[in-house]
Structure 1
Amino acid sequence: MIAVEHLTRRYGRHTAVDDVSFHCAPGTVTGFLGPNGAGKSTTMRMICGLTPPSAGGATIDGLPYRRLPSPGRVVGVLLDASAQHAGRTGRESLAVAAATMGVDRHAVLPALRRVGLDATAARRRVRAYSLGMRQRLGLAQALLGDPRVLILDEPANGLDPEGIFWMRGLLRDFADRGGTVLLSSHLLREVEAVADRLLVIGGGRLVAQGDKDELLAGGGTLVRARDTAALRGALDSAGLTVADGTDGLLVRAPAEVVGRAAVDAGVVLTELRPAGSAGLEQLFLTLTADTPTREAVR
């Protein structure tokens, strides 16, 4: 279980994460979504004890990360695949991690094989790894202690389509066996395929959270007209939140309200329907349309 309660992080006058609360339950994959600079990475760093919160807190299995007696045995973390010693081999990197966690060194090679790194890759220096190979090595380290929880920030970055498909299966299997996964990713279609629950953050605040199917069913309205500029003007005049979608304009309002705004402005519509049927991408665009980037540049 991951429990986040009123988590806040300020940098001077700037608030990077603002009163964020959520739970991730065993047996689920939770997709953590948001634009660049929305506060995802800062939130995950606070959960893992790397960034101290200004207010609130986070626990994993009832304890803050720093108070876990053997963190690697409880939670596997992958926040930055490039943060690995470039001069070590893949096998050496995992051997050091195993010694730190108190894991039997004989678990190293099976862990590498589990993520698709063979004996040749195990002997290669990390500096010669591609980004995708570094992601696999980082995931092997996260899994090495046989944890009950995984916290992963953009783990599919650099993977080819086959690798992304493989990772989806690995995470789904982990959760189906009772594990808890918190997954941040910009690959919305992959998150939609594997996640049970969604968290959407924008401007440092959660703008939506809940069951994936329920959120997709209530994702606003998709609307199109022959005169897109006139339609946007009518919606703006009605005080509605509008974003550009892949198939039209996305409006965070019921279809009846959107249609009335168009009728009042004399705009002829060519399409008006719930946006949920268009998937996670359009839901994401709708929810984050009016959220500014607030994460500090450090």
Structure 2
Amino acid sequence: MIEVSRLSKRYGGADAVRDVSFACAPGTVTGFLGPNGAGKSTTLRMICGLTPPTEGTATVHGVPYRRIPNPGRHVGVLLDAAAQHAGRTGREVLTLTALATGADRSRVGELLETVGLPAKAAGKRVGAYSLGMRQRLGLAQALVGEPSVLILDEPANGLDPEGIFWMRTLLRGFADRGGTVLLSSHLLREVEAVADRFVVIAGGRIAAQGTRDELLSGTGVVVRGTDPAALHAALRGAGLPAEPDGTGRFLVAAPAEAVGRAAAAAGAVLLELRPAGGDGLEELFFTLTHGATP
């Protein structure tokens, strides 16, 4: 269980993260989503005790990370795959992690196989690894202590489509066995297929959170016309909140009939009018995060 309550981090006069609260339950994968610079990594670093919060609290199994005895046996963390020791081999990295945490060294070979690093790759120095190989090694390192919680920051970076599918399968299996996964990404499609819940952060603040169905319920309609400016003016004139998506379409938090009547009254010709959510969470994600600043 991960619980984050009103976390804030301020650097000088600027808020990197402001009043962030959410929870991740056992048996679930939580997708922590937002554009680059939204505050995802800062939030994860605060949860893991690497960055002290200005305000608020974060606990894992009811305890701040820094107070967990031998945390590697309870929480597997991958925040930066590039931080691994370049002069050691992949096998050495895992063996040293097992020794440091008191984990079973016999699991090293099994984990290397699990993450797709065969003996030849495991014997290479990490400095010769591609980013994708480092990500695989980082996941294995997070799993060495047989933790019940995984906290992962952009773990799909550098993975090819096959690797992303493998990662999803691994994380889904971990959660299905009762584990808790917090998975950060700026790419919605990487996590949409595996996450049970989503927390969307933009400009350092939580923009939305919930299951897919909860996020998409009541999101309104998508509308597109021959003249976007005229259509936007018609919607504003009717008091209908409309958010442009950058492609000439608008997401409108109103019934389709109200949108159609507003367009007809203004003489705006429509080319498209449909319920939002037809493209999954992507439309909603763009609308929530577009143009947000701390």
TM-score range (shorter-chain normalised) is over 0.9
Pair 1:49-2:52 in alignment: no
Identity percentage over the alignment? 69
Paired residue for 2:278?
277
| Cα distance, 1:233 vs structure 2 | 4.1
Pair 1:267-2:285 in alignment: no
Letter in 1 for 2:151: I
Asked if the contact 2:240/2:252 (under 8 Å) is kept, the reply is: no
Letter in 2 for 1:211: T
Asked if the contact 1:220/1:286 (under 8 Å) is kept, the reply is: no
Letter in 1 for 2:120: T
Paired residue for 1:110?
110
Structure 1 residues 218, 290: CA separation in 2 closer, same or farther (over 3 Å shift)? farther
The DSSP-based 3-state class of the residue aligned with 2:82 is coil
Asked if the contact 2:230/2:268 (under 8 Å) is kept, the reply is: yes
| Cα distance, 1:270 vs structure 2 | 1.8
Letter in 2 for 1:146: E
Letter in 2 for 1:83: A
Q: Distance in 1 between the 2:234 and 2:121 partners?
A: 58
Q: Distance in 2 between the 1:206 and 1:241 partners?
A: 21
Pair 1:30-2:30 in alignment: yes
Paired residue for 1:202?
202
Which range is displaced more, 3-12 or 252-261? 252-261
Q: Distance in 1 between the 2:4 and 2:120 partners?
A: 41
Post-superposition CA distance 1:151-202 (Å, at most 9, x none): 1111011111111111111111111111111111133223111111010111
Q: Distance in 2 between the 1:11 and 1:3 partners?
A: 23
Q: Distance in 1 between the 2:155 and 2:116 partners?
A: 14
Question: How many pairs are equivalent?
Answer: 292
Asked if the contact 1:33/1:40 (under 8 Å) is kept, the reply is: yes
Post-superposition CA distance 1:194-227 (Å, at most 9, x none): 1110101111110101112221333342111111
Unpaired runs of 5+ residues, structure 1, are none
Paired residue for 2:213?
213
Paired residue for 1:4?
4
Asked if the contact 2:10/2:54 (under 8 Å) is kept, the reply is: yes
Paired residue for 1:72?
72
The DSSP-based 3-state class of the residue aligned with 2:263 is helix
TM-score if structure 2 supplies the norm length?
Answer: 0.94
Letter in 2 for 1:65: Y
Unpaired runs of 5+ residues, structure 2, are none
Aligned pairs for 1:163-202 (under 5 A) are 163-202=163-202
| Cα distance, 1:277 vs structure 2 | 2.0
| Cα distance, 1:110 vs structure 2 | 1.2
**RMSD, matched Cα:** 1.8
Asked if the contact 2:2/2:58 (under 8 Å) is kept, the reply is: yes
Post-superposition CA distance 1:17-72 (Å, at most 9, x none): 11011110001111111111111111111001111000001000010000000111
Asked if the contact 1:31/1:183 (under 8 Å) is kept, the reply is: yes
